[in-house]
Amino acid sequence: MSAREDPDDELLARVLLCRVFEPGDPVGGRWVREWGAVEVARVLRDEGPRPAGVSDRRWAGMLGRAREADAGRDLRAARDAGVRVVVPGGPEWPGQLDDLGDARPLGLWVRGRPSLRMWALRSVAVVGARACTEYGAHMAATLGAGLAEHGWVVVSGGAYGVDGAAHRGALGAGGATVAVLACGVDRPYPRGHTELINRIAEQGLVVGELPPGEHPTAGRFVVRNRVIAALTRGTVVVEAAHRSGSLVTARAAQRLGRHTMGVPGPATSGLSAGVHELLRGDAVLVTDPAEVVEVVGDMGQLAPERRGPVLPRDLLEAAARRVLAALPGRGTASAAAVARGAQTSPEDAVARLYELRSLGYVERHGDGWKLTRQAVISGREGVVDVDGACSAVRGNA
């Protein structure tokens, strides 16, 4: 906006243009960038000369939509529905949306009290299959709740399946969530999520590019996904087939330089095939909220180190573990044989054996030593018997 343009004129012009251009239309975006929204709106209202490169048919369609548009009526309808309009250059506009270039939204219609700009600064998108499995719904809800508990805003599309589970997870944790719709924000879609979307509007934000009353279409769902990608620091995909719309969000995030993450599923699941394809590329594998935060968060916000359960034998000194490992799984062994297996002296082996005896791991039988039942069970829990497994395979072959 130039210094001479009136903010009210800019707002009215952009509201009118929301009726003329489809979301993400690069032609309309280029005109607004080159001439300004007020001038583009004036040319359309006055049915000015057709710009170069636009067919007669398309220009006639634009002029027809401009004649029917009424910015004042749309603003009144928005106000009655508790909706405000956020435009580029305004105090609530998220600057990261400017990365979309000429495909940047002309404006956003917003339901909810929080500041969209502030919430978007620390947000993560969680998207995925509509017809997800129980596993997908569980993982999406877990990520939504965990990210909310870590202080992150969860952004998704309000759809069935993964989207809805992610929103519910965040809401259930008392956290923040944003639904980006492909229709007017006064018309919740899908209808079955009316209650959920209204709850999001009360506790968080519902956002869309389309003016009040507008309905969704297949194309609008696709272009909506670029807003989800641009608005957030990163996108997590939970279950997605090869042709899933959530992959559109992930690829848009990659083009914009945002982080892209995927939650793996069974190798045999078609619903995870798209996620696995992402993971074969530049996406990062994540399994819980802490790992997501490690990717998108500030330096030093590392996920906790993953390890198996601590077993009693893990607390033994290294020398004692070597002596214990040198004892056969069945039968007895002399102290000399144990010393050779543990690569230590007979005196040290005897000392370690008596130490292990006091802890209940070994017992003495005459001149030999053998493992107790406790030691055998502990070994089975903590160590894979490679030789035994190979013998079993050979026996079954």
> Could you tell me where the beta strands, DSSP code E, fall in 216-337?
234-238, 259-263, 284-285, 333-334
Q: For all residues of the chain together, what is the average pLDDT?
A: 89
- In our burial notation (b when 16+ CB lie closer than 10 A, e otherwise), range 10-41 reads bbbbbbbbbbbbebbbeebbbbbeeebbbebb
**Pairing between β-strand 108-111 and β-strand 205-208 as defined by DSSP bridges:** antiparallel
Is the pLDDT reported for residue 154 higher than 70? yes
Instruction: Count other Cβ atoms within 10 Å, centred on residue 373.
Output: 9
Amino acid at 313: R
- How far apart CA 30 and CA 213 sit, in angstroms, is 26
User: Given pLDDT bands bounded at 50, 70 and 90, which one contains residue 1?
Assistant: very low
Q: What is residue 388's predicted lDDT score, i.e. its pLDDT?
A: 35
Tell me the β-bridge partners of 284: 261
Kindly report, residue by residue over 230-285, the tens digit of the pLDDT.
999 999 999 999 989 999 999 999 999 999 999 999 999 999 999 999 999 999 99
> Which strands form 368-371's sheet, in the order they lie side by side?
333-334, 368-371, 362-365
Q: Which of the residue ranges 36-40, 196-200, 351-355 would you say has the lowest mean pLDDT?
A: 351-355
* pTM of the shown model: 0.79
Q: What is residue 308's predicted lDDT score, i.e. its pLDDT?
A: 60
| C-beta of residue 126 within 8 angstroms of C-beta of residue 155 | yes
Q: What is residue 236's predicted lDDT score, i.e. its pLDDT?
A: 98
Q: For residue 92, what are the contacts with CB-CB under 8 A and spacing of at least 6?
A: 86, 110, 115, 116, 117
User: Given pLDDT bands bounded at 50, 70 and 90, which one contains residue 312?
Assistant: low
- In our burial notation (b when 16+ CB lie closer than 10 A, e otherwise), range 294-317 reads bbbbeeeeebeeeeeeeeebeebe
Kindly report, residue by residue over 179-237, the tens digit of the pLDDT.
999 999 999 999 999 999 999 999 999 999 999 999 999 999 999 999 999 999 999 99
Whole-angstrom CA distances from 321 to 233, 335, 379 are 47, 15, 11
- How far apart CA 203 and CA 198 sit, in angstroms, is 9
Q: What's the angle, vertex CA 55, arms to CA 54 and CA 61, rounded to 5?
A: 95
Structural domains of the chain, with CATH: 7-95 (no CATH), 107-296 (3.40.50.450), 312-396 (1.10.10.10)
